[in-house]
Structure 1
């Protein structure tokens, strides 16, 4: 298919509260190297989850892709999604997604 030249810009804001933790906890986490290559140096869906107290906003946006916003954009440009995005939100497939809901 030929590109249609559509541009969309959006911002998704999520507030993440980090727990107070000891230097020993920080050193142990850094030793795992889970922080490497991560925006904010943590992965909520990985080993960094134990550093997070709570979030306010869209969990998938913290992971890296705001699914609802992305699905809306794709529908707006005529892409038929193979799976309803709300079913993903109901299933919460990441192991710890429910912990932050």
Structure 2
């Protein structure tokens, strides 16, 4: 049985597109980057921790497989996590405005006997945003709970000038890499 270790409705929506039956596991894993931890290493570690913590919750289920994922926005080596409030979100959007940043999503698949991981990296260019555009986007509340203070699949898509990589990866679960890992793991996708 496949389990998604995530509170994210976007990840559940994306995983459902693969036509698989799965359960969800609600976790609260601290997402704090270590002082000397590289951004990509941080994203991989958090995905692995989510999958591992999820497995501990379903270890008694025969054949349990758990998928954990983490997505982060990275610019100039800085990880832009989820904003704590609207002011933090506005600051993030001002920083991303008119620039290209990286979005890394790591996925980990674990069972009692095996663990595999994949990483998707995308380059996203945000058009120059004026204060009116930032205020209007903040009013939508789409920024809440989103790495980098934006949801590419919502209103903010109109501010994406260029994307090189995986749209679903920027959303939170790269479909190509996820399907490949699930097939390699023996879960049909």
State how 1:66-77 maps to structure 2 within 5 Å.
66-77=174-185
5 Å-filtered alignment, 1:1-101, equals 1-2=62-63, 3-81=111-189
Task: Give TM-score, length-normalised by structure 1.
Answer: 0.73
> How far apart are 1:50 and its partner, in Å?
1.5
| Aligned equivalents of 1:64, 1:19: Cα separation in 2 | 21
Deviation of 1:44 (Å): 1.0
Q: Is the 8 A contact 2:119 2:177 kept in 1?
A: no
How far off is 1:51 after superposition? 1.7
* Shift >4 Å, 4+ stretches: none
User: Structure 2: which 5+ residue stretches go unaligned?
Assistant: 1-61, 64-110
Q: Please give the root-mean-square deviation of Cα atoms over the aligned residues, in Å.
A: 1.2
Count residues in correspondence. Answer: 81
What secondary structure, in the 3-state scheme, does the structure 1 residue paired with 2:117 have?
Answer: coil
Give the TM-score of the pair, scaled to structure 2: 0.41
